[in-house]
Amino acid sequence: MPVSPLKKKAMGNLLGFAKIVIEGDFQYFFEFSQNNLHILFTCVYLKRICKKYDMNHKQQQILELAKKQSIIQAKDVEALGISRNYLYTMHEAGLLQKTSVGLYSLPSAEINENTNLVAVAKQLPNAVIGLISALSFHEITTQIPHKIWIIVPRGAWKPQIDYPPLHLNYVSGPAYSYGVQEHVLNGVVVKIYSPAKTVADCFKFRNKVGLDVAIEALREVWRTRKATMNELVEAAKINRVLKIMRPYLEATV
């Protein structure tokens, strides 16, 4: 095959030939005499170095992302222009640990409640953290949630995730959309109900959380001034529990 003038010019120096090797134009290797084999081996070595550097750079990007977000998934690394295959290879190499299907974290990562909230947000975009988990987040309860309490729209598919364990609740209409706040945890947006809406939800689901928990939350949210009376009344109306909450609201004030 004839060699173009451009290729001949490129072959005239080491850097130009290195570029040919890195781009994969191996058909032109045989245009060189044996005296130029050292150039060939040098360029092959350079290509390996470049490939290794690129791989190490991408792995470092993924490790930094995992450190920032605590939990990452395929779409997070793809947003950086990196193939999701790196997650699999890094997991096999022990650089990442698998916390659930499709979720990865650093082996040394500390798993706490916020980490679990982030895991839920990544796997269930429509879920809103509520009830006991929201009370705990807002620090208006003495309860310690052993599962992540979430609220999803009525009629939605039942979530199928391995981790973290969930306590699932369904609502519809304004009872789902009202009072949703967005909090950034470890660089990830997590939807959590406001303190006022959470208290009203506890009265709505008092048979699940316990009336004593709802009353405690109401007293604590008022004591810490994390919700106004107007906010509490509005949330109670949305949830249709104002009649139930009114005696406790009056006693609290």
Domains of the chain: 5-105 (no CATH), 113-252 (3.30.460)
Q: What pLDDT score does 76 carry?
A: 82
For residue 166, give the DSSP letter.
E
DSSP alpha helices (H): ranges in 70-210? 74-78, 85-92, 113-123, 131-138, 174-177, 195-204, 206-209
* Integer Cα distance of 180 and 198 in angstroms: 10
What does the mean pLDDT of the chain come to?
82
How many percent of the chain have pLDDT more than 70?
77
Range with lowest mean pLDDT among 9-13, 135-139, 193-197: 9-13
Report pLDDT digits (tens) over 15-31.
Answer: 555 555 555 555 554 55
Which residue in the block uniquely carries the two structure tokens 């120096």? 13
Q: Which two tokens stand for residue 231?
A: 């906010």
Confidence check: pLDDT of 65 > 60: yes
Higher-pLDDT residue of 110, 71: 71
215 alpha carbon, distance to own chain's centre: 33
Confidence of residue 70 (pLDDT cuts 50, 70, 90): confident
Confidence check: pLDDT of 119 > 80: yes
* Integer Cα distance of 66 and 148 in angstroms: 22
